[in-house]
Chain A
Amino acid sequence: MRRRGVGASAVTKKKLETARYKERGNEIAAQQLEQLSNQLETFHTNLEDFAAKHKQEIKKNPQFRHQFQQMCAAIGVDPLASGKGFWSEMLGVGDFYYELGVQAVEICIATRPQNGGIMTLKEIHQKLIKTRGRYGQDISTEDVQTAIKKLKVLGTGFALIGSKSNQLVQSVPGELNMDHTAIFDLAQQNGGHMSVSEVVKKLSWKSERCEHVIDHLTHEGMAWVDDQTPTNERWYWFPALFTAEQQFAS
């Protein structure tokens, strides 16, 4: 009977109730934990069955991998969070992406003296295919993106920047913002180089803004200065954008 919940006894009663609920809550949490444990065991078996049937699919089909990643993201699960996770252990997705990550890091280190630590997603994708050789599994650009996103936690500045159609991979620390990627875009459309006057014309920036941005890029070694241009104005070349050029020029 709880008609008049006022007075000292009401307060003690309330305290008792809260304490009892707490105990109850405690039990419930422990029960839930057991429930979770059981569910996990069933899930483990189901995942084993799934792996037995479809593991090859995941290895061979980049589209399937992509779908798989998206489904995991939709429910809030990161299959690549740990090598000890179910997904990684049984489906082998972990090893696939972690190895891709290692290869990507090695490629970035090897090309850093040339391009200052930035390259197009396309180029790193091609280099990865080459490194893996003809017996390596098929990898899509999404696979490369997933692997690189994971590398971010290592703190050496691995990041994907740029617009969707023109993705760049950065492998050195340092801020590369929208201005920097805008200049990269412009240079790419212009055969791998640009000049301050072109930026001013095409992007309608003030020349100080352009110089500030291009200075940073030159400093980082991502842009090279060319003072022997036909127009006598200083040009800036981007080695990261060179590959496409070189193929057709030879």
Chain B
Amino acid sequence: MDRFVWVTGGIQFNEAIFYTKNAVRIYDGDDKTSYDDGTVKVTTHRIIWTDAKYQIALPMELVVYSEKHSGGFGKSPKVSVHLQAPPVNKVPGPVSRSQNSFIKFSFKDGGESEFHNQLQAAIQKQGWVQQSISSSSSSLKSAPMGTRTRAAGIVGIERKIEEKQKKTDQNISVAFQDLTKLMEKAKEMVALSSNIATKIKDKKGDITDDETVKFKSYLLSLGIPNPVTKETHGSGTHYHMQLAHEVCKSLDKAVGECGGMMLLSDAYCRINRARGMELLSPEDLLNACKMLDNLNLSLKLRTFATGVAVLQLQSHSDDLIIEQTTQLVEESTSLSAQELANLVNISVLLAKERLLLTESVGGVCRDDSDEGLRFFPNLFLTKVV
């Protein structure tokens, strides 16, 4: 299967098609591949297989011999094609290495006899050898004269494709040149910024607050992390403050519906899905949420010991949750994180956090076994005399 190469475009100049058949599947050795319903063509130069998505081809010169296998009950007839080793400088294809040196074509709709005959004929004729010699000589002769008259037809199309490729390559190299120039300028600014940052750090009160705020927004625009001003003015900028308000407005209701707590990654998805354009970076969201506490809004950011970060309603009370969880565990004799998640309609991660929280105050006990982690009511507290 690794002798196939990706191809685009259609038939080449000097190539002729001998036979075409649809509903053909390719096997790599004896294993099915995902190329399972396409059209196979036998030409002078190659065996080509196409479907709606892919186009792959196998050079005819690699074929050693082929065999027919008739079908049986439930099995389509097949033709196995035995191949030589792939050439060293082979262009990339669908499979880079295969341990099999043969492939099979399975003909769900018949046609294998004709395919086999045509393949044998093509191998014998060795059409690719003659053609390559004649095409190189003819291209030498016709290059000066025939270039303009051949603008139409297959060669014309191929040439257009080549030109387009060259143009894309040129565009990219121009883009790289422009990009390199831009980067040099950016580098200067990065150096300047770090200079300023050090100065700010050394005399923390001397630059006006306004200027510091401006400076932070410059860093934001460039994408430079600014650890310096974190201690003095918090990690956020004006932008993040606005974002914090926006986050609260859009997610307040949703967090309530989720039981008062929503995973930060969940919040990220929801906000960006709602925005559609001008999306927020994860850091934007994090920085905005870090400011929530200071701004006294209805949501706040909470990070658990495990590293899990959630947005939580200010009105949320841990005690209530602990009570609720303890009760649920009692009612069900025991609960796993997955079961609690289904019961309360929250994510498994959050359910686990609730159970751990309740455990930390002694509301429930854990049972850690081969079958997983389960929580039971804490009878040590309630039933011990």
Residues of A within 8 A of B (CB): 22, 25-26, 28-30, 32-33, 35-37, 39-40, 42-43, 46-47, 50, 53-54, 57, 61, 64, 67-68, 71-72, 74-88, 94-95, 98-99, 101-102, 105-106, 109, 112, 150-158, 172-174, 218-219, 247-248, 250
Contact = CB atoms under 8 A, between A and B. Distances in A.
B314 interface: no
Interface stretch (B55-63, B102-110, B305-313, B327-335): B305-313
B373 A219 contact: yes
Among A46, A77, A94, A157, the most chain B Cβ lie within 10 Å of the Cβ of: A77
B17 interface: no
Interface string B21-65: 000000000011110000000000000000000000000000000
Nearest to B222: A77
A84 B189 contact: no
B222 A105 contact: no
Given A68-B179, A84-B220, 15 more contacts: A29-B200, A33-B207, A36-B193, A39-B189, A43-B186, A46-B182, A67-B176, A75-B190, A77-B223, A78-B224, A82-B220, A83-B278, A86-B223, A94-B279, A112-B348
A25 B207 CA distance: 11
B280 interface: yes
B196 interface: yes
Nearest to B268: A154
A40 B279 contact: no
A156 B309 contact: yes
Secondary structure type dominating chain B contacts? helix
26 contacts: A22-B206, A36-B196, A36-B218, A39-B188, A40-B221, A53-B178, A57-B172, A72-B183, A72-B186, A75-B186, A81-B283, A83-B280, A84-B239, A84-B284, A85-B220, A85-B222, A87-B223, A94-B281, A98-B272, A102-B272, A102-B273, A102-B279, A151-B265, A155-B308, A157-B308, A219-B372
A83 to B, nearest CB: 5
Contacts of A40: 189, 218, 221-222
A216 to B, nearest CB: 11
Interface pairs A-B: 10 shortest CB-CB: A155-B309, A98-B279, A54-B175, A156-B265, A29-B199, A75-B187, A154-B265, A81-B223, A78-B223, A85-B223
B283 A36 contact: no
Contacts of B34: 247
A39 to B, nearest CB: 5
Contacts of B190: 75-77
Nearest to B338: A113
Contacts of A22: 203, 206
B5 interface: no
B211 A81 contact: no
A152 B187 CA distance: 26
A33 B306 contact: no
Given A33-B211, A39-B192, A47 B182 contact: yes
Contacts of A28: 199
B307 A61 contact: no
Contacts of B195: 32
Among A76, A151, A155, the most chain B Cβ lie within 10 Å of the Cβ of: A155
A144 B28 CA distance: 29
B70 interface: no
Contacts of B189: 36, 39-40, 43
Contacts of B277: 95
B292 interface: no
A153 B289 CA distance: 12
Nearest to B32: A248
B265 A105 contact: yes
Interface string B282-319: 11111000000000000000010011110000000000
Contacts of B175: 53-54, 57, 64
A157 B303 CA distance: 12
A26 B281 contact: no
Contacts of B174: 53-54
A178 B239 CA distance: 40
A190 B189 CA distance: 52
Contact of A57 (B32, B171, B182): B171
Contact of B214 (A33, A35, A47, A72): A33
Contacts of B284: 82-84
Contacts of B188: 39
Contacts of A54: 171, 174-175, 178-179
Contacts of B31: 248
A238 to B, nearest CB: 17
Nearest to A68: B179
A83 B281 contact: yes
Contact of B306 (A36, A71, A87, A173): A173
Nearest to B178: A50
Contacts of B373: 219
Contacts of A32: 192, 195-196, 199
A156 B179 contact: no
Contacts of B239: 82, 84
Interface in B228-266: 239, 263-265
B324 interface: no
B144 interface: no
B154 interface: no
A105 B281 contact: no
A78 B186 CA distance: 12
A214 to B, nearest CB: 11
